[in-house]
Amino acid sequence: MQPVIEKIERNTNQSFAIRKFTDPCPQGIFHYHEELEIAYVINAKGKRFISGVLEEFDAGDLVLIGKNTPHYYQIDENSINYDILVIHFKEDFMGLNLKEIPELNSFYKLCKKATRGIQFKGARLEALQHLMLKIYNLPSEKRLTALIELFNLLLETEEYRIIGVSINEEHSDSNNLLRINSVYSFVSNNYSNKINLKDIARVINMTESSFCKFFKKITRKTFFNYLNEFRINKASKELLISEKNIALIAEECGYPNIANFNYQFKRVMKCSPSAYRNKFLKP
């Protein structure tokens, strides 16, 4: 699945856009835009995909997503009163690039990390949520000051988590990010099936040899190391949330051979699947 570019509309009297989304799109649209995004889930649940990681979200979720970072939100069909508040702003929305404004240089560095997505947590989360709602309800001429206040509060929030897969920043230009995220999306949608180099190289129109070099340059690991880690992480979660037998979980995560699954699981998680399940589920 290739990401599509989204053009963010904003009012002519505003330097940034803030919108509430109340009409869910259950399937989600894999997209990117040149603006950075701060998204606060007021009321909804489902799954979101950012930089190679597909995970569940719930009401209260607040993330910062970097510019040109492909992502999508897939809303649970049972969600009611769907409500997500989103702020979009360009790096130069104040007339200068953020890195050229001394007072915002630290925030610019945070934005660079956001190419992998950042989820904010902890004691300051509620204050961040309230401030985003405040910005939405303010008249347009008072929003900019409050947005700078939000930037500072994000910086002061020590409890946050980098969501996406680690990449080599030396090679993380926009074109490479789009390519690697197309690969991540393909894996996320097909990890339960057999994936060979020919299939994955075709996703970004490369030869198998060129793809292997490209993927290792960007991620510092081979594609099959990444694929195994992705599958094993999926399996480890399934071991804890379901009562399915281990062989079935292995097959659903792309391992028809249980011996290979056990080997890969122990390599990644440092213990067997059964030991992992017993460790976390014992009374």
CB 57 within 8 A of CB 41: yes
Q: Are residues 111 and 30 in the same domain?
A: yes
Same domain, 154 and 245: no
Nearest 5°: CA angle at 247, between 242 and 250? 80
**Residue 59 in this model has a pLDDT that exceeds 90:** yes
pLDDT for 37 beyond 80: yes
Domain stops at, among 144, 162, 180 = 162
| pTM of the shown model | 0.74
* Cα separations in angstroms, 230 against 123, 137, 140, 185, 264: 30, 41, 43, 12, 11
Asked if the structure places residue 54 within a domain, the reply is yes
Distance CA(191)–CA(227), nearest Å, equals: 8
Q: Return the exposure string of 15-33: e unless at least 16 CB atoms fall within 10 Å of the residue's CB, then b.
A: bbbbeebeebeeebebebb
Pairing mode of beta strands 31-32, 4-5: parallel
**pLDDT in the model for residue 90:** 94
The pLDDT of residue 282: 59
What percent of the chain has a predicted confidence (pLDDT) above 90?
60
Q: What is the pLDDT of residues 109-140, one digit of tens each?
A: 999 999 889 999 999 999 999 999 999 999 99
CATH number at residue 88: 2.60.120.280
Where residue 203 sits, what CATH number does that domain have? 1.10.10.60
Rg, C-alpha atoms of the chain: 20
Mean pLDDT of 237-259: 94
pLDDT at 170 exceeding the cut of 70: no
**Same domain as 158, residue 37:** yes
- Domain-embedded: residue 181: no
Average pLDDT value for residue range 234-241 = 89
Euclidean distance between the first and the last CA atom of the chain, given in angstroms as a whole number: 42
**Same domain, residue pair 116 and 215:** no
180 inside domain? no
Same domain? For 256 and 153 the reply is no
Separation between Cα atoms, residue 86 and residue 61, nearest integer Å: 12
- With respect to residue 125, please indicate whether it lies within any of the assigned structural domains: yes
Query: Considering the domain boundaries, does residue 140 fall inside one?
Result: yes
Please indicate, yes or no, whether residues 15 and 146 belong to a single structural domain of this protein: yes
Query: What percent of the chain has a predicted confidence (pLDDT) above 70?
Result: 95
* 172 band by pLDDT with thresholds 50, 70 and 90: low
**Res. 278 pLDDT band, cuts 50 70 90:** confident
Of these ranges, 37-51, 127-141, 155-169, the one predicted with the greatest mean pLDDT is 127-141
Number of domains forming the structure of the chain: 2
- Give a yes or no: residue 110 inside a domain: yes
pLDDT-derived band at 168 (thresholds 50, 70, 90) equals low
- The reported pLDDT for the residue numbered 109 is 92
**pLDDT confidence of residue 171:** 59
Given a cut of 60, whether residue 188 has pLDDT beyond it is: yes
**pLDDT confidence of 24, banded at 50, 70, 90?**
low
Place 231 in a pLDDT band, splitting at 50, 70 and 90: very high
| Domain region containing 196 | 191-281
Query: Are 146 and 265 in a shared domain?
Result: no
Based on the fold, state whether residues 206 and 155 are members of the same structural domain. Answer: no
For residue 183, tell me if it sits in a domain.
no
E strands, 78-179, are 83-89, 118-120, 160-162
Q: Has residue 27 got a pLDDT over 60?
A: no
224/111 same-domain check: no
Residues 6+ apart with CB under 8 A from 101: 94, 108
3 state DSSP class of 51: coil
Domain boundary among 146, 162, 178: 162
Q: Does residue 251 form part of some domain?
A: yes
**Where a domain ends, among 143, 162, 181?**
162
